[in-house]
Amino acid sequence: MHHEQYRDTLAFSKLLYADTPRQLEFRATTVAEAAQWQATLRDKLIELIGGFPHESCDLHPQVLESREFPNYIRKTVQFRSRPGMDIFGYLLFSKDFDGSAPLPAILCLAGHGRGVDDIVGIEEDGSMRGEYGGYQNDFALQCVAHGYAVLAIEQFGFGHRRDAVAREKGGGSASCQPSAGAALLLGHTMVGWRVYDAMRALDYLETCPEIDMNRLGVMGISGGGTTTFFTAAIDPRVKAAVVSGYFNTFRDSILSLSHCIDNYIPNVLKYAEMHDIAGLIAPRALFVESGTEDTIFPIEATRFAVSRAESIFKLFGADDKLGFEAFEAGHSFHGVGAFQFLRRVL
């Protein structure tokens, strides 16, 4: 069968991967070298995802609705990310919040599916779920129950921020395609668009007197984990990141398996693997959780990437700021070790 040996496309991709040196992989041996490496890789990463606007537009913040629930208050908010694009989201506070001291806050980012409504317990018909549900287990509501203020925003292309064709198809249909493709055609990436939205969400939180900006976390699963990961790597305002169902190696997941086009960053593998990018978060805090049965982010590659990231955190003297939990399940939000970790670091 040797005459078929060069017809396997994945084998070819992996061969090229092996032959492509990562020009900015972590090689530092001192904290000073490591800090310089971070600055260089962070600049390169911002360039690879398409860069950001030179100046930020006015936020034009609006509260569209305010509703009381038995345990929390939910404000529906909207603010401007850039000219021609608004961000829709929910600001959530526990009923126990008395305003005496500002709260730690978590920016929550949903993965593929129905979008932000699916992490705050809103069913497709607008009714409220009786208990945590879906693969994301209403993690934004879990954050509120753990005492955090929450800003849950709709990611670009999901739920409340889609094109007309996707809206026609119903709740679970995203507009990642064609918009992630449009981004690539324009020299941008969906990762860049979503990270910038997350950064604008942090700008919005800075305008809220209830929020302690020194205790700011970001949490997301799947496509929300992607945005969480890159936002924490790029924006130092993030003190802790919880990445669920995403952290892996590009080699074993994004390069090897069929993913939504919103995952792709042209040329990234010429410079860094995912564990290198994790090193941009050190000495700030990163918690990774992954299901042992997750078919799109293989657990062995996650374990490998975490062990590689550990050596970077160690050099910064921040061993205790990198956490990892593998749990017996598929692609889903777990939130056990993650909340214990956040209690400690935030």
pLDDT at 4: 78
Averaged confidence pLDDT in the chain: 97
| Residue 266 pLDDT > 90 | yes
Which residue in the block uniquely carries the two structure tokens 């993650």? 338
d(C-alpha 96, C-alpha 328), whole Å: 34
pLDDT for 41 beyond 90: yes
DSSP string, 102-163: PEEEEEEE--SSS-GGGGTTB-TTSPBPSS--TTTTTHHHHHHHTT-EEEEEPPTTSTTS--
CA 260 to chain centre: 15
Question: What are the φ/ψ torsions at residue 218 (nearest 5 degrees)?
Answer: -130, 140
Quickly list DSSP for 220-247.
EETHHHHHHHHHHHH-TT--EEEEES--
Strands (E), 54-102: 62-68, 72-82, 85-94
User: Higher confidence at residue 260 or residue 3?
Assistant: 260
pTM here is 0.98
Contact 209, 102 (CB under 8 A): yes
Q: Which pair of structure tokens corresponds to residue 163?
A: 């094109």
Q: For 302-333, how does the pLDDT look when each residue is reduced to its tens digit (9 = 90+)?
A: 999 999 999 999 999 999 999 999 999 999 99
- Among the listed residues 299, 256, 213, the one whose alpha carbon sits nearest the alpha carbon of residue 307: 299
Q: Taking the domains of the chain in order of start, what are their residue ranges?
A: 37-345
Does position 2 have pLDDT exceeding 80, yes or no? no
- Please tell me the distance from the alpha carbon of residue 201 to that of residue 38, in angstroms, as a whole number: 24
- Cβ(164)–Cβ(245) under 8 Å? no
**pLDDT at residue number 51:** 98
CATH architecture of the domain with range 37-345: 3-Layer(aba) Sandwich (3.40)
Residue 178 preceded by cis peptide, ω within 30 = yes
Confidence of residue 5 (pLDDT cuts 50, 70, 90): confident
The set of residues, in sequence order, having a beta carbon less than 8 Å from that of 39 and lying 6+ positions away, is none
What average pLDDT score do residues 112-120 get? 97
Is it the case that residue 1 has pLDDT exceeding 70? Answer: no
| Predicted local confidence at residue 37, as pLDDT | 98
Tally Cβ neighbours within 10 Å of residue 44. 17
Flag whether pLDDT at 172 surpasses 90. no
